[in-house]
A = this chain, B = another copy of it.
Amino acid sequence: MNEPSREHDFLQEYDVSKYERPSVTADIIIFTVDEKKRLSLLLIRRGGYPYKDRWALPGGFLNAGKESADTAAARELFEETGIKNAYLKQLYTFSRPDRDPRTHVISIAYTALIPRGKLQFRAGDDARDARLFAIYFQDGTLSLVSDSLTLSEKELAFDHAEIIKTAILRLRGRIDYEPDAFELLESKTAFTIFELKQIFETIKDTSMDTANFRKMFFRNYVNTGIASSLGQTRRDKGRRAAALYCMN
């Protein structure tokens, strides 16, 4: 076996610095279920070019050499919402060289699931406008609604419409066999079966049968130890007291 030459080593090293490097951002799709039980996400109005005044996903440049994309995403989520230790999963990496007009910017996208009650953000602020948009996604077409403001796919900055659609499809695909739905409960330690059912219905955008949902809940979650009964009930106005459950 030949001992590789010093020159060979040098070339190997040289390659690393020779190549142009792309910029890398971590962008986050922050999903929640709003007051009207609609699947929603947080968007930020851009203050600068490119796509000035357009709505975009929260995110920012990775601190190269100092943090992983996971850390960058967690940092951005904290800066945007004040939330630490959230449910944050890598979604997909988007890397078309023309997706940002400035330079090649690769986006490592993350999905965060945050209950509405824990989600606070700078809204109506002059410098940085942040808003929750309800998601309408049918027949492959996305539109986003916040009060009187409706956005079509084309109005979003960069390729963020594509990223959001990817995130919705992944969320829908995961909901039946991953414990994602629990992350959107206002309280993981005291919830009713109906509250969990509402989250499933919101994400899948269908209505589900009560009896069948209960059976599924006991089979998939209680019997497997993912959730368990608190042995307590909660009384709400206008209806029968409901049994409470908690995640383990």
State the A residues within 8 Å of B (CB): 1-2, 4, 8-9, 11-13, 15-16, 19-24, 47-49, 52, 61-70, 90, 92-93, 95-97, 102-106, 108, 126-127
| Residue in B closest to A18 when the chains form the complex, CB atoms | B61
User: Once bound together, how far apart are the Cα atoms of A3 and B67, in whole Å?
Assistant: 34
Contact for A22 among B12, B13, B47, B64, CB less than 8 A: B64
Evaluate whether A69 and B49 lie within 8 angstroms (CB atoms) in the complex, with A22-B21, A64-B21 already known: no
User: Once bound together, how far apart are the Cα atoms of A68 and B99, in whole Å?
Assistant: 10
User: Once bound together, how far apart are the Cα atoms of A95 and B74, in whole Å?
Assistant: 14
Contact for A104 among B49, B65, B104, CB less than 8 A: B65
Once the chains bind, are A97 and B68 in contact (CB under 8 Å)? yes
User: Once bound together, how far apart are the Cα atoms of A12 and B104, in whole Å?
Assistant: 16
Given A4-B48, A13-B102, 8 additional A-B pairs, CB 8 A: A1-B126, A12-B48, A12-B49, A15-B61, A22-B62, A65-B103, A69-B106, A93-B108
